[in-house]
């Protein structure tokens, strides 16, 4: 919902962002795991050392092949190499396997290839890219290729250095490594400085069955790790902002899908949901509850566990991540809105159309019109921001304001409504938005979402509270008085109930999907886009071997095909079946 929406990439691109974000996790995780090495001498217990200014200038891309050396294990627990550090209790160590088998981020660059740029025999041109390139040549000249366009590479490849060292304005095609598509480091941070450091270990006295070497890096403060290059993807806000860079767009980071790109054929970016995106990525990392190192730390040193890993005993990490990410996503959208308003001012033109809700304009005209039945926010006939992020953030805040220690959020839902109205006015007072007003409203909104997110810190997402939040989302989806009319809101609600249901659900075994979610998927089939990869069946955690369930192969599916399936469903959205499906939903016992 907000204004400046925009920039995610299509399937492929999205994949990229996703991958990025999540690959990030993987790396981060692995970071602390590798085989024992002799450490740079470090005072045990002291603060972790920080890089020098000269170190920082050398921060650059190392490539997935380097990460793979350790993060590509089949069964790390059985390997001698990891016994001393017990790295497999901290991270999976098979991250790269899952990523290269399933993750669309790894194909992000290949999605740009056309008959002019395919070199490798095993690659085929991507029909979507081909169409875009053919069209864009009319405007950009006969030597243009999408695979050589930095605006495309920004989200479809790996930039060799971070933006503070290599600013987007200076990007050339050669600034990007294309080998891994959106590789590990696009989410986890450029690796040249932490590559060795994150696995350095030193010997300690260990009791039976415990690690005999510790990796000091693991418990270093996230800010210090950041200085060495590692992005703290365990922080939901950081993770959401990392994904959002491509999947929503961030002009300051050189990433934004303009309406020109869409008009040339770029697939629309779906609404962003951190948890659903990472489920479908699929995640290549263990949830904190699955990693003994983290569960033990949460019990033995709660303050450290939260400060470093955002993990708390007795609280659902997933629910907290979901809630904080909902606000961070709204914030990222607002930030893009600010950037687009500035851009419009500079060009003395309206906001880029990509700032608006695509479906404000791109809908079939029907009689009778559901839009007219529903009514409009503000004046009829003026395009708005995308509403979905607002809808989800409002539910999260509404729930949190009633939680123990959530008093700080008492007025938050009403404040959010006010901010949304202000933005609606900024968008509709002029045909393509009033840049000054949009700037003011989005800046306010970005700041406010960050503050509201901070106020979530004291509350505890206990199972009882997660159930309440689940019920709140269900009630919002089933509400006949305020029917959900926007397919993206329906999509986010659907993902939210899946996230929260799975968090509460205790599977008997990990083979059978929860019956309640199977029923939901069936009820929504053909009407709500519940899967980013069409027809993917349910899974708890995808392993490296075998295709994603329901798919012959996770990646032989063309972008065109995925897009068609998605948009057919999207365009068939109807409120009634969605409402009915939500009415039938019950929280797990």
What residue ranges bind other proteins (CB under 8 A)? 127-128, 131, 135-136, 138-139, 259-260, 262-265, 267-268, 347-351, 353, 358, 361-367, 369, 371-372, 375-376, 379-382, 430-432, 560, 563-564, 566-568, 570-571
Q: Which is nearer to other proteins, 109 or 427 (CB)?
A: 427
Look up residue 307 and give its two tokens: 């400060």
- The total of other beta-carbon atoms located within 10 Å of residue 233's CB is 29
Look up residue 505 and give its two tokens: 């659900």
- Judge whether 237 and 456 are in contact, CB under 8 Å: no
Q: Which is nearer to other proteins, 383 or 477 (CB)?
A: 383
Q: How far is the CB of 258 from other proteins (least distance, A)?
A: 8
CA distances to 84, 90, 160, 392, 505 from 584, rounded to whole Å, are 50, 39, 50, 20, 17
Dmax (CA) for the chain in angstroms is 76
Tokens 């590789």 label which residue? 183
Q: How far is the CB of 508 from other proteins (least distance, A)?
A: 39
Q: Which is nearer to other proteins, 290 or 349 (CB)?
A: 349
Q: How far is the CB of 579 from other proteins (least distance, A)?
A: 22
- Judge whether 3 and 338 are in contact, CB under 8 Å: no
Q: Which is nearer to other proteins, 404 or 525 (CB)?
A: 525
Q: Which is nearer to other proteins, 261 or 334 (CB)?
A: 261
Residue 524 makes CB contacts below 8 A (sequence gap 6+) with 494, 530, 577, 578, 581
Q: Which is nearer to other proteins, 404 or 568 (CB)?
A: 568
Q: Which is nearer to other proteins, 57 or 561 (CB)?
A: 561
Nearest-angstrom CA–CA distance, 83 and 488: 47
Nearest-angstrom CA–CA distance, 529 and 331: 24
Q: Which is nearer to other proteins, 385 or 461 (CB)?
A: 385
Q: Which is nearer to other proteins, 9 or 316 (CB)?
A: 9
Q: Which is nearer to other proteins, 57 or 347 (CB)?
A: 347
Q: How far is the CB of 376 from other proteins (least distance, A)?
A: 6
- The total of other beta-carbon atoms located within 10 Å of residue 253's CB is 20
Nearest-angstrom CA–CA distance, 9 and 12: 7
Q: Is 255 helix (H, G, I), strand (E, B) or coil?
A: strand
Q: Which is nearer to other proteins, 136 or 326 (CB)?
A: 136
Rg of the chain over CA atoms, in angstroms? Answer: 23
Q: What angle do CA 410, 388, 106 make, to 5 degrees?
A: 120
Sign of CA dihedral 403, 407, 408, 410: positive
Q: How far is the CB of 385 from other proteins (least distance, A)?
A: 16
Nearest-angstrom CA–CA distance, 446 and 4: 11
Element (H, E) at 159: strand 158-159
Contacts made by residues 132-136, CB under 8 angstroms, sequence distance 24+? 132/261, 132/264, 132/265, 132/266, 135/264, 135/265, 136/264
Nearest-angstrom CA–CA distance, 179 and 186: 13
- Judge whether 109 and 150 are in contact, CB under 8 Å: no
């Amino acid at each position: 919902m907000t204004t400046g929406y925009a920039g995610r990439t299509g399937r492929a691109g999205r994949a990229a962002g996703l991958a990025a974000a999540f690959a990030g996790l993987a790396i981060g995780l692995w970071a602390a795991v590798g085989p024992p090495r002799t450490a740079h001498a470090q005072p045990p217990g002291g603060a972790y050392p920080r890089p020098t200014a000269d170190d920082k200038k050398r921060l650059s891309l190392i490539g997935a092949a380097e990460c793979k050396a350790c993060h590509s294990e089949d069964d790390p627990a059985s390997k001698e190499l990891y016994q001393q550090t017990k790295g497999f209790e901290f991270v999976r160590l098979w991250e790269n396997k899952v990523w290269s088998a399933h993750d669309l981020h790894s194909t992000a660059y290949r999605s740009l290839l056309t008959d002019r740029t395919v070199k490798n025999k095993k690659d085929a041109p991507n029909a979507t890219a081909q169409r875009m390139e053919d069209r864009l040549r009319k405007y950009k000249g006969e030597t243009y290729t999408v695979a050589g366009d930095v605006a495309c590479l920004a989200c479809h490849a790996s930039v060799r250095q971070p933006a503070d060292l290599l600013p987007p304005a200076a990007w050339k095609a050669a600034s990007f490594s294309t080998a891994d598509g959106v590789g590990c480091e696009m989410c986890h941070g450029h690796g040249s400085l932490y590559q060795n450091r994150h696995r350095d270990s030193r010997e300690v006295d260990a009791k039976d069955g415990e690690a005999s070497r510790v990796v000091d890096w693991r418990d270093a403060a996230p800010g210090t790790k950041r200085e060495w290059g590692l992005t703290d993807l365990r922080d939901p806000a950081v993770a959401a902002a990392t994904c959002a860079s491509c999947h929503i767009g961030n002009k300051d980071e050189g990433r934004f899908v303009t309406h020109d790109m869409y008009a040339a054929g770029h697939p629309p970016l779906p609404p962003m949901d951190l948890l659903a995106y990472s489920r479908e990525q699929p995640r290549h990392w263990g949830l904190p509850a699955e990693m003994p190192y983290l569960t033990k730390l949460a019990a033995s040193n709660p303050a450290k566990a939260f400060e470093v890993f955002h993990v708390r005993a007795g609280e659902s990490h997933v629910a907290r991540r979901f809630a904080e990410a909902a606000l961070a996503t709204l914030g990222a959208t607002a930030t893009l809105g600010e950037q687009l308003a500035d851009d419009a001012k500079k060009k003395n033109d309206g906001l880029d159309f990509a700032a608006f809700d695509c479906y404000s304009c791109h809908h079939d005209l029907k009689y009778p019109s559901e839009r007219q039945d529903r009514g409009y926010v503000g004046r009829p006939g003026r395009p708005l921001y995308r509403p979905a992020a607002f809808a989800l953030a409002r539910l999260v805040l509404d729930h949190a304001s009633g939680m123990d220690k959530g008093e700080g959020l008492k007025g938050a839902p009403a404040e959010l409504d006010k901010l949304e109205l202000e933005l609606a006015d900024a968008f509709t007072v002029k045909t393509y938005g009033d840049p000054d007003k949009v700037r003011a409203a989005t800046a306010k909104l970005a700041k406010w979402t960050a503050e509201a997110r901070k106020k979530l810190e004291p509350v505890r997402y206990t199972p009882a509270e997660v159930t309440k939040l689940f019920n709140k989302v269900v009630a919002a989806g089933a509400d006949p008085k305020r029917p959900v009319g926007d397919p993206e809101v329906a999509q986010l609600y659907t993902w939210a109930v899946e996230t929260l249901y799975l968090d509460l659900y205790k599977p008997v075994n990990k083979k059978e999907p929860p019956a309640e979610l199977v029923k939901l998927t069936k009820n929504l089939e053909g009407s709500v886009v519940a899967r980013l990869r069409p027809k993917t069946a349910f899974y708890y955690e995808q392993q490296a071997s075998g295709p994603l369930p329901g798919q012959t192969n996770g990646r032989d599916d063309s972008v065109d095909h995925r897009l068609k399936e998605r948009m057919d469903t999207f365009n068939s959205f109807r409120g009634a079946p969605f409402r009915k499906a939500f009415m039938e939903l019950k929280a797990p016992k």
